[in-house]
Amino acid sequence: MGKTLEKKVPFGLAIIPLLVMVASMAVTIVKFEGDPHIPLIIGTIAAGLVAWFAGFKWSFIEEGIYKGIKMALPAILIIITVGMIIGSWIGGGIVATMVFYGLKILSPSMFLVSICVITSLVTLAIGSSWSTMGTIGVAGMGIGMSMGIPAPMVAGAIISGSYFGDKMSPLSDTTNLAAGITGTDLFEHIRHMVYTTIPALFIALGVYWFLGRDFSNADVDNMEILEIMNLIQSNFVVSPWLLLVPAAVILLVAFKVPALPALMVGVLLGWIAQFTVQDGSVADAVNTLQNGFALETGNSSVDELFSRGGIQDMMYTVSLALIAMGFAGIMEQTGMLESIVAKILKLARSARSLVASTVATSFFTNVAAAEQYVSILLPGRMYNKAYEDKGLHSKNLSRALEDGGTVTSPLVPWNTCAVFIISTLSVHPFEYAPYAVLNFMVPILAIIFAMLGFKLEFVKEKESTEAARKVS
């Protein structure tokens, strides 16, 4: 029954697991308001059955599951670490300090614009949207919600800013990945992304300014904000010195220290702050890392904000990531994902439609493979020759991969980026998606510009040959 990948799985068979997964996902989440785990398991079973029917041995299918899970392990380590950093920073009073001073400085009407700009600049400096959302983003959620701004709006502004910085930063792993796999100079790749990403950011800021007008008259909420600030001061030691903890993490990542050890430094500093600055016990600080911090003040908003974090708080996300990558592993190992993408490639007859198809394919890969890196790697490998054949510069491909892959990953509920955001910001993708303006405007602008031929750049034969040599 076994066979090699020289014989591809037909498109008609390859699409079945995806349709089963999406259909079961829609019924479970929309109709029953359930979680995405079981639909993903159903999709994984369907993928395994289709692969077996197509002639693959179970050992080969199982190998694909393990490969997919292995790919998710770096993300899972980050997720667990962020759980500890949220718990330790709440217990150590760092989040309370950031929320307290944020409520004093930021105005409700300009908060959405401000938090989007702040997260943009921080992520641009450190190159990690996850690090920004897990630190600055958590405090931003508390500040915005304390001002009476709906959580989905706040989350959308944080996500837009974080992914702008992630996309445009030379320190970002996805930016380097897209440039590297296509053989494009890193800074040429970043400069080419300006045409779709900067307009999308200005559109997002315009939307946030418009939405913020509804919160310009904050007199009604002043007493509530004052109560929140008093509760923070009565339950935590608030000190500007505690702001050195997030500053230290940002500085470490800016100096190219890898995200995991940089975040662990943040965990350690927060843990120490809980039993030194906040007068907690060492035992309580250890328990916070495992089970999160719990606060009971009688104010539901404050209790909800400061009762979270810890390793256990991230297990929902970890289990979802493992299941999603098991599904993706089968789809890629057996060539089913490649078969689906190849079908799309046949529709791209012109240079303009090729770029638009790349953007769509990267988004589709985010849906099917549930992993941001796969949405860059797989289409990048598959479309490279097609761009070369049409004489297109490789920076067109690298930009299309990011426009369709990097920024759309938070919009797919079962994608590893989205499940990270669910656990970190406590808002579901269906809720924040309409407000993550940059994330859906970038691919829309990319497709429009591609079909208009705007900034569609071609290369001379010599440059094309050199680019091909870099990729190979």
Average pLDDT, the chain: 85
Would you say residue 2 has pLDDT above 60?
no
Would you say residue 374 has pLDDT above 80?
no
pLDDT at 45: 96
pLDDT at 223: 67
pLDDT at 471: 43
* Distances, alpha carbon 294 to alpha carbons 80, 174, 291, 306, 324, in Å: 18, 35, 9, 7, 30
pLDDT digits (tens, 9 = 90+) for 254-297: 787 877 888 899 999 999 999 999 999 999 999 999 999 999 98
pLDDT at 224: 67
pLDDT at 467: 46
Q: Which long-range contacts (CB under 8 A, 24 or more apart) does 117-123 make?
A: 117/161, 117/205, 118/161, 119/157, 119/158, 119/161, 119/162, 119/165, 120/161, 120/162, 120/164, 120/165, 120/201, 121/165, 122/165, 122/250, 123/161, 123/162, 123/163, 123/164, 123/165, 123/166, 123/169
Q: Which of 93-102, 119-128, 202-211 reaches the highest mean pLDDT?
A: 202-211
Q: Which two tokens stand for residue 47?
A: 């993928």
CA distance linking residue 391 with residue 240, whole number of Å: 56
- Segment 430-434 shows an average pLDDT of 95
* Distances, alpha carbon 164 to alpha carbons 88, 110, 160, 226, in Å: 28, 19, 6, 33
CA distance linking residue 308 with residue 317, whole number of Å: 14
Range with lowest mean pLDDT among 78-92, 117-131, 435-449: 117-131
pLDDT at 220: 41
pLDDT at 3: 43
pLDDT digits (tens, 9 = 90+) for 322-369: 888 888 889 889 988 888 777 777 777 788 888 888 998 899 888 877
pLDDT digits (tens, 9 = 90+) for 121-173: 878 866 778 878 887 888 889 888 888 899 999 999 999 999 998 898 876 77
3-class SS shares of the chain: helix, strand, coil, % to 5: 80, 0, 20
Q: Which two tokens stand for residue 115?
A: 């938090």
Task: Give DSSP secondary structure letters for 315-359.
Answer: HHHHHHHHHHHHHHHHHHHTTHHHHHHHHHHHH--SHHHHHHHHH
C-alpha angle 421/225/308, rounded to 5°? Answer: 35
CA distance linking residue 218 with residue 370, whole number of Å: 40
- Segment 20-43 shows an average pLDDT of 82
Burial (CB count <10 Å: 0-12, 13-18, 19+), residue 359: buried
CB 219 within 8 A of CB 80: no
More confident of the two residues 403 and 470 = 403
CB 131 within 8 A of CB 259: yes
pLDDT at 4: 46
Backbone angles phi, psi at 458, to 5 degrees: -105, 165
Please give the model's pTM, rounded to 2 decimal places. 0.74
pLDDT digits (tens, 9 = 90+) for 285-323: 999 999 999 999 887 767 877 888 899 988 887 887 788
